Structure 1
Amino acid sequence: MHDNLTGKRFFGVTLLNVCITILEIVGGLLSGSLALLSDAFHNLGDSLSIVLSYVAHRISQKSQDQQNTFGYRRAQIIAALLNAFLLVFISVFLVIEAINRLREPETINGTLMMIVAVVGLLANLISVMLLNRGSHHNMNIRATYLHLMSDTLSSVGVIIGALVIKFYNITIIDPIITILVAVYILFECWPIIKKAINILMEGAPKLDYEAIRHDLVALEGVNDVHHVHAWMVDENSIVFSAHVNMADMCLSDVEPVYREIEKLLQTKYKISHVTIQAEAARGKGENLIYDQGRDI
């Protein structure tokens, strides 16, 4: 049911954005508004973004197999990164066009510009509401949501610009609004790009590793912890591995300690997958994060 609902929402948002794009391209050409055309380009990017986001969402639902033993959830991270880069490309292009327009201002039909922008704003608001729920816990949907939010902001800017042009005939406001919206989008893209690259580079999640060591050593049967590795499969799934020094005991006695370690890491540190290598004396006293470059 959830996948079907998600599919319907993605389809509805895509259809809305295609309609907005066509309307704003025609309106932008007829009115002479770069801000309106920039909004149309954003919406065109949105349509591509939404399709990419949905395809990645479907791929991420595939089960783990021999080709991908951690599953396919990183498809959504890749989609989020591509979507963010697409936004950066569009924003840079629009800034260049806006600077050119500042040098050579053109006549703009403020009334037509405002009518088209109001329709675009309403459609963008509907799209934002459709994807709002999934944007809080999913980087892929959040990147698409950012596309839509940027378009909503852009539409508001176009409306303000249209009012200024209509009543005061200050046409320079059109490229200025385009630049301001583009800069805002670039600013919002950076956290998504940074986090996506960190996940794809197997970067460590933000965990208090010394606190983890302290908590593990406090467990009965655990003497020391070293060779810790932590990485993220996606933004919500942390994988953790460590070598744990224990007293020399039977394997059947080790398993209850494993369960205690897993319970601690999952409940307190929200770690999804735990792998422990039990050792008696090997590696005891070595660094928590191994730095000799020989363990991989």
Structure 2
Amino acid sequence: MHEHNHDEAMSQQRFFTVTILNTLITLVEFVGGILSGSLSLLSDAFHNFADSASVVGSYYAHQISQRPQNQLNTFGYKRAQIISAFLNSLFLVIISVVLIVEGVQKLFKPEQINGNLMLIVAVVSTVANLISTVMLSRSSKHNLNIRATYLHLLSDTLASLGVIFGGILIKLFNWVLVDPIVTIIVAIYISTESYPIIKKTVKILMQGSPMIDCYDIQKDMMQIDGITGVHHVHIWSVDENSVIFSAHVNMDDMLISEAEKIYDPVSKLLHDKYGIEHVTLQAEVKRGTQEDLYFDTKTDIE
């Protein structure tokens, strides 16, 4: 069901529409920002430019991730979306840092701003950004790649709202300092929201273990008849939805055909209780009974 929703959200027509919208917004905001002298409007234009690249990159990464496993990539290409999410989020943080520096400089050297033009452009940008955000919102909860792109669009919607607020204050009270202040606030928000995605994608790329207690898995597996020990456990994620598990399992001395009957309940247990998609087990009798749950790097032969 999730995959179906992802495919629907990542359709070529939807991405094409979002890309066109963001390209038009970028051009309008660049021109409007230069003519009005608004830093927050220019910062929003840079965000929208990043959005356009993000949408195209995310769609391309999604297409790559659908490729089947082959001799070159035996786990498939699912991590293409993780790489895309990491790069998108990292780019957002870099942009945010640049905007914060520019905003601080503007605080000490404020410039005159055309509040009317700033306000008009910001309203147009907000409407277009909101449409783009809604188009990708459905699938953002279950896919880091889509979420990173969605975060780009959401951040620009919020930034545009901030620019509208700033434009109103500038128009009514000539508070030009509100422009860099809005820029700094939005940049801090964007970087704060991007950090968890960077952290999670780096963990996946480093083959870090998901939030699953391996000792609980060991305890549950030991309840299955025929299993006498579990060691050399490895658990990692290919992407945020695909968890893989491997372990050496000590069993009673039996025929391979009998040992295979134990594999099915183990796989069912791991899938139903822990959401593990792929399980690899190495059956042993006495070998490794003194080994730790995790792989001992001092062991020459596993």
Amino acid at match of 1:45: A
Question: Which of 179, 187, 212 is residue 182 of structure 1 equivalent to?
Answer: 187
Q: Secondary structure at the match of 2:139?
A: helix
The aligned counterpart of 2:217 is: 212
The aligned counterpart of 1:11 is: 16
Following the alignment from structure 2 to structure 1, what is the Cα–Cα distance between the partners of residues 134 and 262?
A: 47
Percent identity between the aligned chains? 56
Question: Which of 135, 144, 150 is residue 139 of structure 1 equivalent to?
Answer: 144
Q: Secondary structure at the match of 1:218?
A: coil
Residues 27-81 of structure 1, C-alpha deviations (whole Å, 9 max, x = no match): 1111111001100000001011111111101100101000000000000000011
Superposition deviation, residue 291 in structure 1: 3.4
Q: Which runs of 5+ in 2 are unaligned?
A: none
**Is the counterpart of residue 259 in structure 1 residue 291 in structure 2?**
no
The aligned counterpart of 2:164 is: 159
The aligned counterpart of 2:77 is: 72
Amino acid at match of 1:260: P
Indicate conservation of the 8 Å contact 1:224/1:285, yes or no: no
Amino acid at match of 1:222: I
Following the alignment from structure 2 to structure 1, what is the Cα–Cα distance between the partners of residues 199 and 10?
A: 30
Report the count of equivalent residues.
296
Superposition deviation, residue 287 in structure 1: 1.2
The aligned counterpart of 1:28 is: 33
Q: TM-score, normalized by length of structure 2?
A: 0.95
Q: Which runs of 5+ in 1 are unaligned?
A: none
The aligned counterpart of 1:197 is: 202
Following the alignment from structure 2 to structure 1, what is the Cα–Cα distance between the partners of residues 223 and 16?
A: 52
Indicate conservation of the 8 Å contact 2:136/2:146, yes or no: yes
Residues 134-185 of structure 1, C-alpha deviations (whole Å, 9 max, x = no match): 1111101100001001101101110110011011111000001000000111
Q: CA RMSD in A?
A: 1.3
Following the alignment from structure 1 to structure 2, what is the Cα–Cα distance between the partners of residues 208 and 88?
A: 32
Following the alignment from structure 1 to structure 2, what is the Cα–Cα distance between the partners of residues 76 and 3?
A: 16
Residues 224-272 of structure 1, C-alpha deviations (whole Å, 9 max, x = no match): 1000000110010001000000000011111110001000000100001
Question: Which of 226, 229, 247 is residue 224 of structure 1 equivalent to?
Answer: 229
The aligned counterpart of 1:278 is: 283
Residues 63-107 of structure 1, C-alpha deviations (whole Å, 9 max, x = no match): 100000000000000001110111011111111111121121111
Indicate conservation of the 8 Å contact 2:140/2:150, yes or no: yes
Superposition deviation, residue 290 in structure 1: 2.3
Indicate conservation of the 8 Å contact 2:230/2:250, yes or no: yes
Q: Secondary structure at the match of 2:293?
A: coil
Indicate conservation of the 8 Å contact 1:114/1:163, yes or no: yes
Following the alignment from structure 2 to structure 1, what is the Cα–Cα distance between the partners of residues 72 and 274?
A: 29
The aligned counterpart of 1:235 is: 240
Superposition deviation, residue 193 in structure 1: 0.5
The aligned counterpart of 2:87 is: 82
Q: TM-score, normalized by length of structure 1?
A: 0.97
Amino acid at match of 2:169: V
Residues 197-250 of structure 1, C-alpha deviations (whole Å, 9 max, x = no match): 111111111101111111100001111100000011001000100000000001
Following the alignment from structure 1 to structure 2, what is the Cα–Cα distance between the partners of residues 246 and 274?
A: 17
The aligned counterpart of 1:244 is: 249
Following the alignment from structure 1 to structure 2, what is the Cα–Cα distance between the partners of residues 52 and 274?
A: 32
Following the alignment from structure 1 to structure 2, what is the Cα–Cα distance between the partners of residues 4 and 239?
A: 26
Following the alignment from structure 1 to structure 2, what is the Cα–Cα distance between the partners of residues 5 and 51?
A: 11
Indicate conservation of the 8 Å contact 2:9/2:136, yes or no: no
Indicate conservation of the 8 Å contact 1:242/1:275, yes or no: yes
